[in-house]
């Protein structure tokens, strides 16, 4: 692949050869030199092949039931492609678009729909990213051991954002579910780099969040908060799978933010009811997460856990200390509103909810806030 130099072609060849491998290997057996076979086959075939493969991803999934890991020709080339797509020298939005295009195999139109962006914007983004890869010589290779931790973190950051983009937006039915794509990619990363506990942690987190997907929206598309969700609609198999992944990551004894977030999700998933939630445990996990990330959003979430352990007055103090950093973040105001309501300050709560409403475009969140304000 390195000999090609041209990104488009390299991308097409890898994807096209994978599809071909799917068709031939089960029938003819895996060739002695799979890498060479792939390249020969890829060159022989037309490069438009992939675009005609509507369900490319599903087919690829079949292939992956065969053991495929870092060290095999197929695994290596895909991993190299992911590292290049998620190179820190590319802007985050390009990393996401390029990964969806080159690794997942989505069309530009599909990516545009997922982001509610004009197709021309996404096309432009992809062109710029590919041009930078070519002109600045961003390599398609797995980074050296020294660089690996940062670069893996970069990939996981891309997948985490992709997942959240999909997870928050999943109310709007016509949008593609990016959360699903992100989870698929996380599975791929875990398969290719089985010794990265944070990758497993991220996959566990996604699995546990998606386990609750069916209960997150009412039949008429309204957002249902965790406290009000019908827990019988959670997917127990996904919960078990997520918890098992978390255990596997934990045994590697290298903790990190994704594993901690997955542990918090597991606490919620394992509580039979809202009242049985182990808030002390969750608060401790948030303490750890604050130490790891220092993020104000994490501190906001810790304050929510604190309100269940120490009451809304203590939590409100913590929340209001974040005013400077989070004044433009709608969930800051929504959280503050909830605490004010618990303290019986209904008018202040409504004012805070109004500020939250003014800061979000998400239809499901807007509906919920409007209802609380009584508008």
Partner 1 sequence: MRVDGGSHVKYMLMFISDDSSWDPSKPEIQAAYARIGAWFEEHRSSGKIIGGEELKGTNTATTIRRRNGKITVTDGPFSESKEAIGGYALVDVTDLDEAIAMAKTWPVLSAIEIRPLVER
Query: Considering the rule CB under 8 A, would residue 134 count as an interface residue with partner 1?
Result: yes
Which stretch in 98-106, 132-140, 274-282, 366-374 sits in contact with partner 1 by CB under 8 A? 132-140
Three-state DSSP at 151 gives helix
Residue 306 · residue 314 · CB < 8 Å: yes
Residues near 112 by beta carbon (within 8 Å), at least 6 away in sequence: 118, 119, 121, 122
**Please, which residue, 136 or 375, has the CB nearer to partner 1?**
136
Torsion, Cα of 155, 256, 229, 244 (10° steps): 90
Residues 241, 242, 245: CA angle, nearest 5 degrees? 85
Which stretch in 120-128, 130-138, 286-294, 298-306 sits in contact with partner 1 by CB under 8 A? 130-138
Three-state DSSP at 67 gives coil
Query: Considering the rule CB under 8 A, would residue 147 count as an interface residue with partner 1?
Result: yes
Size of the site for partner 1 (CB under 8 A): 17
Quickly list DSSP for 87-108.
-TTS-HHHHHHHHIIIII---H
Query: Per-residue contact track with partner 1, 46 to 85, x per CB under 8 A?
Result: ----------------------------------------
**Please, which residue, 127 or 172, has the CB nearer to partner 1?**
127
Query: Considering the rule CB under 8 A, would residue 5 count as an interface residue with partner 1?
Result: yes
Instruction: Classify residue 209 as exposed, middle or buried by CB count within 10 Å of its CB (0-12, 13-18, 19+).
Output: buried
Which stretch in 47-55, 115-123, 137-145, 291-299 sits in contact with partner 1 by CB under 8 A? 137-145
Per DSSP, what are the bridge partners of residue 72? 70
Query: Considering the rule CB under 8 A, would residue 91 count as an interface residue with partner 1?
Result: no
How many angstroms separate the CA atoms of 297 and 322, rounded?
Answer: 9
Minimum Å gap between C-beta 199 and partner 1 is 20
Query: Considering the rule CB under 8 A, would residue 138 count as an interface residue with partner 1?
Result: yes
**Please, which residue, 140 or 298, has the CB nearer to partner 1?**
140
Which stretch in 3-11, 68-76, 96-104, 202-210 sits in contact with partner 1 by CB under 8 A? 3-11
- Tell me the helix, strand and coil percentages in the chain, rounded to 5: 70, 0, 25
Minimum Å gap between C-beta 17 and partner 1 is 19
Query: Considering the rule CB under 8 A, would residue 89 count as an interface residue with partner 1?
Result: yes
Given 141, 233, 254, 291, the residue binding partner 1 (CB under 8 A): 141
Instruction: Classify residue 144 as exposed, middle or buried by CB count within 10 Å of its CB (0-12, 13-18, 19+).
Output: exposed
Given 144, 174, 276, 361, the residue binding partner 1 (CB under 8 A): 144
Query: Would you state the structure tokens that stand for residue 5, as one six-digit string?
Result: 């130099």
Q: Which positions lie near partner 1, rule CB under 8 A?
A: 2-3, 5-6, 87, 89, 134-139, 141, 143-144, 146-147
């Amino acid at each position: 692949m390195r000999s090609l130099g041209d990104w488009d072609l390299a991308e097409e060849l890898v994807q096209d050869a994978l599809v071909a491998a799917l068709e031939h290997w089960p029938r003819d057996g895996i060739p002695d030199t799979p890498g060479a076979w792939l390249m020969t086959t890829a060159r022989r075939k037309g490069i438009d092949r992939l675009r005609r493969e509507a369900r490319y991803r599903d087919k690829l999934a079949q292939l992956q039931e065969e053991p495929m890991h870092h060290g095999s020709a197929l695994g290596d080339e895909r991993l190299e492609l992911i590292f290049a797509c998620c190179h820190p020298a590319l802007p985050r939005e390009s990393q996401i678009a390029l990964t969806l295009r080159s690794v997942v195999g989505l069309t530009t139109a599909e990516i545009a729909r997922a982001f509610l962006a004009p197709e021309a914007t996404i096309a432009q983004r992809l062109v710029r990213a590919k041009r930078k890869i070519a002109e600045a010589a961003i390599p398609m290779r797995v980074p050296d051991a020294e660089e690996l931790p940062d670069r893996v973190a970069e990939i996981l950051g891309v997948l985490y954002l992709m997942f959240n983009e999909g997870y928050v937006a999943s109310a709007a039915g016509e949008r593609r579910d990016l959360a699903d794509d992100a989870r698929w990619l996380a599975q791929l990363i875990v398969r290719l780099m089985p010794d990265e506990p944070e990758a497993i942690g991220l996959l566990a987190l996604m699995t546990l969040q998606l386990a609750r997907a069916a209960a997150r929206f009412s039949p008429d598309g309204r957002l249902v908060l965790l406290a009000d969700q019908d827990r019988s609609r959670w997917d127990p198999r996904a919960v078990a799978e997520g918890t098992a992944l978390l255990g596997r990551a934990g045994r590697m004894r290298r903790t990190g933010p994704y594993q901690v977030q997955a542990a918090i999700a597991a606490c919620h998933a394992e509580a039979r009811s809202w009242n049985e939630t182990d808030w002390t445990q969750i608060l401790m996990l948030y303490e750890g997460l604050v130490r790891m990330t220092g993020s104000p959003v994490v501190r906001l979430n810790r304050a929510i856990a604190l309100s269940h352990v120490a009451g809304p007055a203590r939590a409100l103090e913590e929340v209001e200390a974040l005013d400077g950093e989070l004044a433009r973040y709608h969930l800051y105001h929504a959280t503050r509103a909830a605490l004010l309501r618990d303290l019986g300050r209904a008018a202040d709560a409504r004012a805070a909810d109004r500020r939250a409403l003014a800061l979000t475009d998400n239809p499901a969140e807007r509906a919920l806030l409007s209802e609380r304000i009584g508008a």
